[in-house]
Structure 1
Amino acid sequence: MRFKKEPPFSHGTTAKIAVVLVNLGTPDAPTSSAVRQYLKEFLSDPRVVEIPRAIWWCILNGIILPFRSGKSAHKYASIWSKDGSPLKVHTEKQAMLLRGYLGERGHQLEVVYAMRYGSPSLPTILDKLKKDGCDRILILPAYPQYSATTTASIFDAVFSHYQQVRNVPELRLIKHYHDHEGYISALAASVQTHWTTHGRSEKLVMSFHGVPKRTLLLGDPYHCECHKTARLLAQQLGLSQDQYVVTFQSRFGKAEWLQPYTAPTIQLLARQGLKRVDVICPGFTSDCLETLEEIGIEVKNDFIHGGGKEFYLIPCLNEAPAWIHALATIAEEQLSGWPTRLSGSEVDAQKRLNDFQRAEATRLGA
């Protein structure tokens, strides 16, 4: 095996430390060609689709990519912002704010973001960190609940990348934070803020990303972690069991996925006479296609056509201060023991920079 060329080494330099916030990814543009390229990378991952490769190659290239790319591009176009893909915009801002919050707490390190699929790609970012002299790296997935289809795929990409590297940095990888106090509190704060502004529904629907049921039967803890998140959130909000429901969205193909499914559940609630429903997607830390279009447009239409009157999608955590504080705490806990501490004057300087970055994030529409 030939290893990648190592960057020039200079004696006396201090190795740097980095946090990499990794999200799923997004097409570069809401066009058929860009979406096709993105879907091909995403759906070619054996963690995502566990079908024999030869069979799946024919299905993917002969049926899915030719027919689904255009439809998906239309959906992306419906939620695309002036700054680009919402998921990418929010993830970039989260990384910027996370660096500032950690700096205010006295930590000196790099904080960058990467995408598992699409750009900026995880291998590209890891290469850049090596060139920048980072010898300790914390991988922070944007997925609170662990699944082999998401978190493990990030780990695969990290390990695969470093198989080509001679001098591998020290690595730490965060598996999950589905029950972390800061994360749950941030979710509760977002719901309570929404209720303060808009009032509240009789029913709160907590919709998580769907995965095939067979993954649960084969030992994936995702289903259990989603329910624990929901239970802890309900407890913090003071909800009884009949005041909320857990559902799963984004079915694909004919196989059974985790149930109950979001869309049919919303339709049933409308038929039962519920006139208003509030929906939150706790598994997504940034608004994206699956929240803004699938839930905010498609499922909303299902509810209204079923007889419902008011449908509210509670925004994802995005750049909410409570969430960035929680994210900083999650990272800080995992950075324990690494030499990240700033001097007092450096902390003051970082606070001034953080104030500027917050103002800039607000100006850009955070």
Structure 2
Amino acid sequence: MKFIHTSDWHIGKIVNEFHMTEDQEIALNELFNIIEEEKPNALVIAGDLYDRSVAPVEAIELLNKVLNKIIIDLNTPVIAIAGNHDSGERLEFAKALVRNKGLYIEGIFNGEINKVTLEDEYGPVNFYLIPYVDPPVVREIYGYETIKDHDKAMKAMIERIKEKMNKSERNVVIAHGYVTYMTDKVEEKGGLSTSDSERPLSIGGSELINAGYFEDFNYTALGHLHGPQRVGSEKIRYAGSLLKYSFSEVKQRKGVTIVNMDKYGDIDIELRNIPMRRDFRIIKGELNSLIDPSVYREGNREDYIKVILTDEGEVLEPMAKLRAIYPNIMELSREVTKGNEETKVSKERNYKNKSKMDLFKDFYMDITGRECDDKRQQVMEKIIEEVEKGGE
């Protein structure tokens, strides 16, 4: 059994006011070439097909075109789940109808974990689809008062799968979240490689899920983290995002994971890169140096650029001068040194590095002159979660 694992397409995403849809379409055309070359039994998408719950028209049109191409023209079934950015209700619209055409989408969690079974020459391979779901929803459906975080919610769902799972067959699970063996390192995201473009899954509570719950599966296809990486072993993997969506991802190599599973359920992994129309790059130096022809000819001038200026004095119209050379500049900042740590740029950086909850607590202190108590923090946590769910 061969399948391609991908995730976090975020179709319709806007990064620093730049619409990424055209770049996404070009990357997805590269995915078509990989599918045509590899001829997999299925394409697995582990959540976040869209960037927000109410996707723009051009994003919906692109996803429709892509799925039609893969399922009809390339004759490849698609198995997908909703991520935390998706609207499960919208994503699985008419799922009973399209299922007969080879599109298997699970968007809404209703208590039962549905599976898709595909056959190869060695027999069945079962794909269990766990769409992203908030812990309170799982608690209400199962009636377990102990479910108060993502870890307990996932444990309950995996236990429900194992009640009926045939361990003599080959089994794959598809999920979306922070999965790690290092669940005690909450502040470090459990040792996972994370990115600035990943939306938090909870405010004020643990997001981490124990990877040990997935050990009985032959492969776990994960979504949410934008950097391709394994969790403990190759059996549990993040495919990473389709493209780079922040400057914290400049060193990441984007692509898809090709999973080959033999008759015993043992797997072999191959990572295939997807060429990008424009890369994300950070360049640093004095303004006159950066606009010098001998410098700006290095690399693609059309890339998405973050510029860090090292000039000590005032600089006249730096953005206009830089954009004449690099048309897709997304960010411009000044290097922070000991002499200017309290400048406006430094304060802005501190502001960007704080969570929404920390910003609210700072605001509350500035307005009232006292610390925000736990009750008010809980109210604000719920408000922030609701806003996060709504997208940008």
TM-score (norm: length of structure 1): 0.31
Query: Per residue, is there more strand in 1 or in 2?
Result: 2
Greater gyration radius: 2
Greater share of residues in helix: 1
TM-score, normalised relative to structure 2: 0.29
